[in-house]
Chain A
Amino acid sequence: MPEAASLPLDDPRPPRKLYRSSDGRWLGGVARGLAGHLGLPVVWVRLAFVGLFMADGLGALLYAAFWFFVPLGVGGVGDQRPQSLVGTETSPDGRRRLVARKPDKGQIVALLLMVIVSMVFVGSVNLTGGAKAYLLPAVLVAAGVALVWRQADNARRARWVEVGSRRRTLTLLRAGVGVLLVTAGVSAIFVMQGSAAHLGAVLQAALAVLVGITLLAGPYLVRMTQDLSEERLMRIRAQERAEVAAHVHDSVLHTLTLIQRNADNAGEVRRLARAQERDLRTWLYKPEGTGKDEADEPDTVAEAVRRNAAEVEDKHGVPIEVVVVGDCPLDERTAAQMQAAREAMVNAAKYGGEGGAVQVYAEVEGKTVFVSVRDRGPGFDLDSIPADRMGVRESIIGRMERNGGTARLRAVPDGGTEVELEMERAERTS
């Protein structure tokens, strides 16, 4: 490959597009890119540009236009690069390094050459006094802008080429020099016109500063923000994807594995599936920032009811459907009510869970908190329970009454039991 590539014409690549060369360039890589495109030696192209430059600066204009509009070559320098005529013999292996190292010297030479030629050019041009006063500062400004513009180019290129620290200092240096040049040019305009002290001149100077800054910052900022927002978007997407993947992996896949292992244990499978469903539901439908990482202790009635139901559901493998209307903070009384409700849920799950889901309904209306727990089991009669069994009497009815509430147990017409707990909220102290 390297040997074949050492002869430009042996390396035909049909769909050629004009790029500026990012490798081995002196200024903008225009000459090199053009040479590569046309299959000519770089020196010829450069000489042509210099020659055109002498024709009233046409070359400079042309070069600038190319620099402005032609994109920088993407990575594939080899594709577009004309053969090295930079004074080094083509040796298959070393060539790349030599060429890559050359431009540092070449760029300086080029810049010097540019400055000298422009001096000659400026000197040779006959201009009236007014215009001449602006020329040098304008050239300075142009040079500064060019440097910074090129830097914006580099910012774009930095995505394709890994940026080393050396390059970073170089870009900083370039930007500094560019800004310096622009400032120098602008202040030169200022100083020259200061003595004349015309209002119009000051305005012109101000305009020059504005234009300069816009030219300086505009493209750079545009490219920067484009790059940044695109990058941020990508990062957010990637993060979201990662979060979803992590969650699905942690909980769903895990649960599915457990279900496969317990396939013959219907109760366990149901329990796992219910727990997973609840978890996923919370995760999918809860608004951002609420409940994804719930605090340890619930502090509102709704939260407490849901929490209790979830725990009972997990423990007993009976689905519990919860409907909560309204909400209020937990106080001492309602906390006791929640404990009673939990006990009622446990009972319903234990004795009435065969008939289907246990339904829990909680409503906060004004000062009253109402909870109903209903199952569709065989139903039971409180009077028929031996007096020494304290479950319902103590932990539900007793607890409610001690705290100033009421509890009612009743049989539902079509089978099942319903426990109704009603409690007045404590007087608001806060």
Chain B
Amino acid sequence: MSDATEANGTTGAAERAGAGAGERHVRVVLVDDHRMFRTGVQAEIGQTAQTGVEVVGEAADVDQAVTVITATRPEVVLLDVHLPGGGGVEVLRRCAALLSAAEAPVRFLALSVSDAAEDVIGVIRGGARGYVTKTITGTDLIDSIFRVQEGDAVFSPRLAGFVLDAFASTDAPPVDEDLDRLTQREREVLRLIARGYAYKEIAKQLFISVKTVESHVSAVLRKLQLSNRHELTRWATARRLV
């Protein structure tokens, strides 16, 4: 993949990352049961001086993950969905307290080879702030990590597709409709994400700022977690996902 060389410091990436390294810094824990994959990610994002990402811990299964996360209190956890010992959802469940901690909450970014609906929806409902697949490029991954650190949501196009599907398939408005329904703008943003646009491109397309895009996506995520009772559960049950 071309992005590997990019992340390792060809001119473009190095300049970009170098510029940000001064002000940006994030502590990350890698959770994945494949050592090879951890090594690969480490090599791609781990040059702290250039990328601003510092990998402070690694874990290969649920128990290890909980221990490492509790001990190191990272800002972001890169979490694999399929893990021995219960999977990423189990890690999220056992770290629920850290997730909602008032100061320095630990945020989770799911990073999985699977983009099956049940995996995606499962970890998002578990409280992950984003979901990206393992085909993501190094620079995009670094970007996503910082985004999650700041509390914003990161969706892959496919995840955006799932969400659109979930909210579109039911037109009958439930009682507390404003809680669960997406606004026209949010829907538009999601649609562009599903079409493969980056946040920056969406901002240009819709003549809004990147920050606004991010807040739209965060709103979607909030609704996604809130809407357990309505569309999403119905949608998921209809597809035998839960």
Contact = CB atoms under 8 A, between A and B. Distances in A.
Interface of A: 284-285, 287, 319, 321, 323-326, 356-357, 359, 361, 363, 365, 372, 374, 412-414, 418
Nearest to A355: B2
Q: Secondary structure of the B side of the interface? A: helix
A135 to B, nearest CB: 62
A285 B205 CA distance: 34
B157 interface: yes
Contacts of B168: 325-326, 365
A359 B164 contact: no
B114 A361 contact: no
B220 to A, nearest CB: 14
B165 A325 contact: yes
Nearest to B159: A323
30 contacts: A284-B116, A285-B116, A287-B239, A287-B240, A319-B135, A321-B157, A321-B158, A321-B196, A323-B158, A323-B161, A323-B194, A324-B161, A325-B161, A325-B164, A325-B165, A325-B168, A325-B194, A326-B165, A326-B169, A357-B196, A359-B157, A359-B195, A361-B157, A361-B191, A361-B196, A374-B195, A412-B201, A413-B204, A414-B201, A418-B195
B114 A285 contact: yes
B191 A363 contact: yes
Interface string B187-206: 00001001111101100110
Contacts of B137: 356
Nearest to A288: B240
A372 B165 contact: no
A357 B157 CA distance: 12
B198 to A, nearest CB: 8
Contacts of B164: 325, 363
B217 to A, nearest CB: 16
Contacts of A372: 195
Interface of B: 114, 116, 135, 137, 157-158, 160-161, 164-165, 168-169, 191, 194-198, 200-201, 204-205, 239-240
Given A287-B239, A323-B157, A413-B201, 8 more contacts: A287-B240, A323-B158, A324-B161, A359-B157, A361-B157, A361-B191, A374-B195, A412-B201
Given A287-B240, A326-B168, A363-B164, A374 B201 contact: no
Contacts of A357: 135, 196
A86 B197 CA distance: 91
A174 B158 CA distance: 66
Given A323-B161, A325-B161, A325-B164, A361 B200 contact: no
A259 to B, nearest CB: 15
B141 to A, nearest CB: 14
A357 B239 CA distance: 28
Contacts of A413: 201, 204-205
A356 B195 CA distance: 14
Contacts of B114: 285
A365 B161 CA distance: 13
B36 to A, nearest CB: 16
A263 B154 CA distance: 35
A141 to B, nearest CB: 52
B238 to A, nearest CB: 12
A323 B168 CA distance: 15
A418 B195 CA distance: 10
Contacts of A418: 195
A310 to B, nearest CB: 15
Nearest to B133: A321
A356 B136 CA distance: 11
Nearest to A361: B195
A393 B229 CA distance: 48
Nearest to B169: A326
Q: Which of B194, B196, B200, B239 has the most CB of A within 10 A?
A: B196
A359 B164 CA distance: 17
A365 B171 CA distance: 11
Nearest to B164: A325
A319 B1 CA distance: 12
Contacts of B157: 321, 323, 359, 361
A412 B196 CA distance: 11
Contacts of A359: 157, 195-196
Nearest to B203: A413
Which are the 9 A-B pairs with shortest beta-carbon distances? A359-B196, A323-B161, A285-B116, A361-B195, A323-B194, A413-B204, A325-B164, A325-B165, A372-B195
Nearest to A286: B116
Nearest to A287: B240
Contacts of A284: 116
Contact of B196 (A287, A324, A326, A374): A374
Contacts of B191: 361, 363
Contact of B194 (A285, A361, A365): A361
A414 B202 CA distance: 11
Contacts of B204: 413-414
A325 B158 CA distance: 10
Contacts of A374: 195-196
Contacts of B195: 323, 359, 361, 372, 374, 418
A295 to B, nearest CB: 21
Contacts of A324: 161
B163 to A, nearest CB: 9
Nearest to A365: B168
Nearest to B196: A359
Contacts of B194: 323, 325, 361, 363
A345 to B, nearest CB: 13
A303 to B, nearest CB: 15
Contacts of A287: 239-240
Q: Which of A319, A357, A365, A413 has the most CB of B within 10 A?
A: A413
Nearest to A415: B201
A321 to B, nearest CB: 7
Contacts of A414: 198, 200-201, 204
Nearest to A376: B196
B224 to A, nearest CB: 15
